[in-house]
Amino acid sequence: MLQAVLQTDTVLLPERLVDLLRLGEFGVVGEFIAGLIAAFLVANIMLIMTAIAGPWAKRKIRARFTDAIAVNRVGPAGLLIIIADAVRLMSKEIIVPEGVDRPAWELAPIVVALSALLGFAVIPMGSGIHVADPEVGVVFVFAVASLASIGLVMGGYASNNKFSMLGGLRAVAQNIAYEIPLVLVAASVVIFAGSLQMSEIVAAQQDTLISLGVVDIPMWFAIINPFAFVLFLAANMAEIGRNPFDTPEAPNEIVAGYQTEYSGIYFVLFYLGEFIHIFLGGAIIATLFLGGPAGPGPESLGFVWFLVKIWAVFLLTQWMRSAVPRVRIDQLIEIGWKGLLVLSFLNLILTALIVGVITV
């Protein structure tokens, strides 16, 4: 009933490409090629964003918080450092430490990067950029994003280094502790939206909640249920391993955690995977709580609004990095299992009760 009204006819990016390039006559092969092109576009958007965020934006933001200047020598505002860093990191020697588990050690960075990239397959980015929209979108994105833990523990264990092993163990303990609150809070959004499909969750947030004169307050789940939003933000911070939950790489405890022994391009892949993971976390927050690509102006501006939202989440992670201390590993486990887990169960029950009362 409710879902039927909200169901919108979204045209996915591969479908549009099939029409545009007349790939329809090739059947499944044509669809696959269209999917490849769409995926290539979306993945490259993410790579470009990471390239801006990693070598440049991160340093600049941190510098602003600590009253420093950061990169300003290469190019205007230091922007060409992106190219300089890319060339430098690509051409660096890879030092293979003694006694590493060869296939696992080399596969780990690839697993991390793959898991972070693949999550974007189901995210509606507005302006018609949406690669796939399966009925189990929410479950898919969480399943894929948590594959990264396997890569982290692989890298940590295969590195033949004590710091790496502790880092890998910490990463996995943290990811599994905060995965459950994350998914439970997402379940409360599913109760509201009545669907696991990303496009329908976005569509369920399009209506206006209340009009305040000229400003229409939209029905974003962050506004309907701020409690769930805060819980999700906190759990997401731990899931992407940022401050105050960056114990897996804690530089002044265990060097660099699971990536201690990685150099050259493998280090880049770990780094890339982490940044894309931050953006994926931002994209999930935007989709589930902030109305996806919704915003004022025409619908073609959707992608801009989507970018604004995920960069806002990125800025939040960098702000946290400058402002909050790291929690200890024992505190981390206790916050996760005793605090967030119980609160997220409460949130689920409260949401179910409220939705039940409204529907009845």
Residue 184 CB, nearest approach to another protein (Å): 6
Do residues 241 and 174 touch, judged by C-beta distance below 8 A? Answer: yes
Eight-state DSSP code of residue 60:
H
Residue 324 CB, nearest approach to another protein (Å): 21
Q: What is the dihedral of CA 94, 47, 55, 289, to 10 degrees?
A: -130
- What one-letter code names the amino acid at 32? F
Residue 14 CB, nearest approach to another protein (Å): 5
| Residue nearer to another protein on the CB measure, 69 or 353 | 353
| Residue nearer to another protein on the CB measure, 60 or 245 | 245
Name residues contacting another protein, limited to 272-331 (CB under 8 A).
272, 329-330
Site membership for another protein, residue 350 (CB under 8 A)? no
CB atoms inside a 10 Å sphere around CB 285: 20
| Residue nearer to another protein on the CB measure, 168 or 295 | 168
Tell me how far apart the alpha carbons of residues 101 and 18 are, in angstroms, rounded to a whole number. Answer: 44
Which range binds another protein by CB under 8 A, 49-57, 66-74, 169-177, 277-285? Answer: 169-177
The dihedrals phi and psi of 276, each to the nearest 5 degrees, come to -65, -30
Site membership for another protein, residue 356 (CB under 8 A)? yes
Helix (H, G, I), strand (E, B) or coil at 91: coil
Tell me how far apart the alpha carbons of residues 10 and 124 are, in angstroms, rounded to a whole number. Answer: 10
Candidates 6, 8, 4; CA nearest to 219 is 6
Which range binds another protein by CB under 8 A, 14-22, 216-224, 301-309, 316-324? Answer: 14-22
Cis peptide leading into 244, omega within 30 of 0?
Answer: yes
Site membership for another protein, residue 211 (CB under 8 A)? no
Residue 296 CB, nearest approach to another protein (Å): 29
Which range binds another protein by CB under 8 A, 53-61, 183-191, 223-231, 280-288? Answer: 183-191
CA atoms within 13 A on the CB side of 230: 6
Q: Within its chain, how far is the Cα of 254 from the centroid?
A: 25
- Chosen residue from 49, 71, 82, 122 binding another protein by CB under 8 A: 122
Cis peptide leading into 181, omega within 30 of 0?
Answer: no
Tell me how far apart the alpha carbons of residues 268 and 288 are, in angstroms, rounded to a whole number. Answer: 30
- What one-letter code names the amino acid at 10? T
Residue 295 CB, nearest approach to another protein (Å): 26
Site string for another protein, 215-234 (x = CB under 8 A): --------------------
- Chosen residue from 96, 219, 304, 316 binding another protein by CB under 8 A: 96
Tell me how far apart the alpha carbons of residues 234 and 102 are, in angstroms, rounded to a whole number. Answer: 36
- Chosen residue from 56, 105, 140, 289 binding another protein by CB under 8 A: 140
| Residue nearer to another protein on the CB measure, 119 or 292 | 119
Which range binds another protein by CB under 8 A, 119-127, 221-229, 291-299, 305-313? Answer: 119-127
Site membership for another protein, residue 204 (CB under 8 A)? no
Tell me how far apart the alpha carbons of residues 159 and 38 are, in angstroms, rounded to a whole number. Answer: 36
Residue 195 CB, nearest approach to another protein (Å): 7
Site membership for another protein, residue 165 (CB under 8 A)? yes
Tell me how far apart the alpha carbons of residues 113 and 150 are, in angstroms, rounded to a whole number. Answer: 12
- Chosen residue from 10, 64, 194, 350 binding another protein by CB under 8 A: 194
